[in-house]
Structure 1
Amino acid sequence: MIDPSSINLHQFLTVWHGKSNQRAVIEAEVSSELPPPLLAWHTLAKQWSKPLVRNKKLLTPEEFTTKGGKIVFMTEPGDAIWGFDPESPEVVYEGRIHGDWVRLAEGFTEFLIHNAMNEAAYNAPYTKSCESVQNEHIARIVEPMTEIAFGGWHWPRPGHRIFMSESLIADIGPAMEDEEPWGDKPGFSEVQVGAITPSALHYLSNIPGTDWY
């Protein structure tokens, strides 16, 4: 496995989102009272003209809200939210708008790297998705890649993992049942793969029983 602390975030973002404008004068328009890793992310992200987080929304301090003593710093189109405790700003909490907070095993820096990779899998220059892959085929899908040893999230459901290589990145987790109560579909996974070049995805067409889109 790859240790998340060994990943250079600027280098990763450059590979997957193109070169940043490093010569630009970066004036952080965010509060210095933010947790240092979150402040560093906002400052770094300003070097790109396009948003680096698109499936979710990283809030500005002006958009922050408070729930259960935690400051909500990120949301997603469903009801998932992420927050931090001003008294322990190095800790990240995951929750739901109408649910309780759960403390994550990942620290803030690791969480932001994890989030960047999750976003890259969906917003890479070239992508392939399959909502239901037989688990027996997962080893073949991730063969060109190495797993990142993230502490793990509960969103969108527990069990998602990130794999990557120089040209591929994948987010893989339990597939969802087709009917309520929308539990895990036994024996199947959902797979999202991003790539820097279209040719890097060609091998997926040889995976049996998959319908990529």
Structure 2
Amino acid sequence: MEDSTGDWVWAFDPDQPDVVYEGESTRALHRSPEDLAELLVHATVRSVILLSGSGRLGAQVPDEALPQILDPLECVDFGGWRWPRPGYRIHVANDLMAEVGPAVDPQAPWLNRAGYSAVRIAGLHDSDLDYLDSFPMVTWIDMGPGV
């Protein structure tokens, strides 16, 4: 399996189908902390977030705002793959799903920006995301399917 750009891949050994390997497509792969079943659920949940018709992205969310933004959601304890960057986690609620990870440093895009996170949040309906308007310190970008 590969990411949408083909830069990151996941693979398994037919002799050990539960063991997953991951890494950049041009480098050696390393064992993932997730087994195959968990990887497939993780990938499915992430795809739902990315393809939701009701979604928002906060690319530079101050970490002090995260507890309130994520308050209605609960963290899912996936084993943790390293794509798109180490440190991403999934949060869910009845009508919301979110992916949270380190924000990209605008001055050095290969580094994380200290004190900030990237938050992509999806709702069943646009109205599920209205509570995000109460965070004026965050610039939210409305996201449609596949954006």
- Please indicate, yes or no, whether the TM-score normalized by the shorter chain is above 0.5: yes
Whole-Å separation in 1 of the counterparts to 2:76 and 2:120: 15
How far apart are 1:100 and its partner, in Å?
A: 1.6
Residue 46 (structure 2) pairs with residue 108 (structure 1): no
- Correspondence for 2:25: 97
Gapped regions of structure 2 (runs ≥ 5): 142-147
Matched residue of 1:155: which SS?
A: coil
Whole-Å separation in 2 of the counterparts to 1:103 and 1:158: 14
- Give the alignment partner of residue 129 of structure 1, picking from 39, 57, 80: 57
For 2:65, give the aligned amino acid: H
More helix by share: 1
How far apart are 1:93 and its partner, in Å?
A: 1.1
- The percentage of counterpart residues that share the same residue type is 34
Q: Contact 2:98 / 2:120 at 8 angstroms: preserved in 1? A: yes
- Give the alignment partner of residue 90 of structure 2, picking from 162, 165, 182: 162
The number of residues matched between the two structures is: 141
After the TM superposition, which segments of 4 or more aligned residues of structure 1 sit over 3 Å from their partners?
A: none
How far apart are 1:89 and its partner, in Å?
A: 1.1
Q: Which has the larger radius of gyration?
A: 1
With the length of structure 1 as denominator, give the TM-score of the two structures: 0.64
Structure with greater contact order relative to length (CA < 8 Å, sep ≥ 6): 2
- Correspondence for 2:81: 153
- Correspondence for 1:74: 2
Superposed CA RMSD: 1.2
Whole-Å separation in 2 of the counterparts to 1:144 and 1:181: 30
Matched residue of 1:173: which SS?
A: strand
Gapped regions of structure 1 (runs ≥ 5): 1-72
With the length of structure 2 as denominator, give the TM-score of the two structures: 0.91
How far apart are 1:208 and its partner, in Å?
A: 3.1
